[in-house]
């Protein structure tokens, strides 16, 4: 089976992008990172992608002013030019138009630093701490027109410690992000994910019954 061609869209640090690049180095991984696309010229992740020998494109959103549709159309043109099969948003800090998202049904993934559907949007770790959450984590989901709301492909949970600060919690969640994004992309690239009633099934099988206790008792 030929490997799926993946574009990773970034705006900043690019550590999830780096995790995807690392996973795709394995010749048995079902996807290759064919393009890294940034909306910011100074995204730190661009240097990592360049060092890995991956094609880079920058489309500065500021040049499009308030015209989100025109910015999205410019991105779509680049994705088509590179023959992209799957798009991975990885810290891509732009709202996308429904028209653009609609071009990529079940072929656009995002990683979000919370256990969705809790804590959509920004500042998730701070909000989880303030809310007194005992379990927090990360989610990889399909992108739909509604922000952070598409079917969830893989989640990882971490326990929240009594003495946790935002940075410590964020670091533990990020460690899990780097595990689950390559896993979720693998499952999608292998065509093993279906959506039924808004939930993902892997290989057509519902998840087995499982319970996680926090604290472990
Ligand atoms: C990650 O926490 C990701 O979940 C969120 O933005 C952050 C991006 O970090 N969407 P990086 O650029 O992948 O290091």
pLDDT in tens, the chain (217 residues): 799 999 999 999 999 999 999 999 999 999 999 999 999 999 999 999 999 999 999 999 999 999 999 999 999 999 999 999 999 999 999 999 999 999 999 999 999 999 999 999 999 999 999 999 999 999 999 999 999 999 999 999 999 999 999 999 999 999 999 999 999 999 999 999 999 999 999 999 988 888 888 888 8
* Domain coordinates in residue numbering, the chain: 1-104, 114-139+146-217
Distance 91 CA to ligand 1 centre (A): 4
CB of 111 within 8 A of CB of 83? no
| Token pair belonging to 203 | 């290989």
- Taking the CA of residue 12 as reference, the ligand 1 atom at the shortest distance is 12
Q: Is the beta carbon of 193 within 6 A of some atom in ligand 1?
A: no
Q: For residue 122, what is the DSSP state?
A: S
Instruction: State the Cα–Cα distance between residues 94 and 178, nearest whole angstrom.
Output: 21
How many whole angstroms separate alpha carbon 164 and alpha carbon 125? 10
Question: What six digits make up the tokens of 187?
Answer: 């499952």
Measured over the CA atoms of residue 13, residue 49, residue 84 and residue 137, the dihedral's sign is negative
Q: Does the beta carbon of 177 sit less than 6 angstroms from any atom of ligand 1?
A: yes
Q: Which atom of ligand 1 is nearest to the CA of 15?
A: 14
Dihedral (C-alpha) 195, 197, 199, 204: value to the nearest 10 degrees? Answer: -50
Compute, in angstroms, the gap from residue 153 CA to the centroid of ligand 1: 17
Q: One fold for both 1-104 and 114-139+146-217? A: yes
Nearest atom in ligand 1 to the alpha carbon of residue 113 is: 4
- 142 in Cβ contact with 101 (< 8 Å): no
Contact in structure between 113 and 83 (CB atoms under 8 Å): no
Q: Write down the architecture of domain 114-139+146-217 according to CATH.
A: 3-Layer(aba) Sandwich (3.40)
Among 93, 98, 58, CA closest to 75: 58
Cβ of 46 less than 6 Å from ligand 1:
no
Are the C-beta atoms of residues 169 and 157 closer than 8 Å to each other? no
- Among this protein's residues, is 112 annotated catalytic? yes
Protein residue with least CA distance to atom 6, ligand 1 = 91
Q: How many angstroms does the Cα of residue 105 sit away from the middle of ligand 1?
A: 22
Quote the ligand 1 centre to 147 CA distance (angstroms): 15
Q: Which CATH number is 1-104's, of 3.40.50.170, 3.40.50.300, 3.40.710.10, 1.10.3720.10?
A: 3.40.50.170
């Amino acid at each position: 089976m030929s490997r799926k061609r993946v574009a990773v869209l970034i705006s900043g640090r690019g550590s999830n992008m780096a995790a995807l690049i690392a996973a795709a180095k394995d010749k048995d991984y079902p996807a290759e990172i064919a393009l890294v696309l940034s909306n910011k010229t100074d995204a730190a992740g661009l240097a990592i992608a360049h060092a890995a020998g991956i094609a880079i494109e920058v489309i500065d959103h500021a040049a499009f002013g308030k015209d989100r549709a025109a910015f999205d159309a410019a991105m779509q043109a680049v994705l088509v030019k590179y023959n992209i099969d799957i798009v991975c948003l990885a810290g891509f800090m732009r709202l996308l138009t429904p028209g653009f998202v609609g071009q990529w049904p079940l072929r656009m993934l995002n990683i979000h630093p919370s256990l969705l559907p809790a804590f959509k949007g920004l500042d998730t770790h701070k909000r989880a701490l303030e809310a007194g959450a005992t379990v927090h984590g990360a989610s990889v989901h399909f992108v739909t027109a509604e922000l952070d709301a598409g079917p969830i492909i893989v989640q990882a949970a971490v326990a929240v410690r009594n003495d946790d600060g935002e940075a410590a919690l964020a670091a533990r969640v990020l460690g899990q992000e780097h595990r689950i994004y390559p896993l979720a992309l693998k499952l999608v690239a292998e065509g093993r994910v279906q959506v039924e009633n808004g939930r993902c099934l892997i290989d057509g099988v519902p998840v087995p019954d499982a319970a996680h206790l926090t604290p472990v008792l």
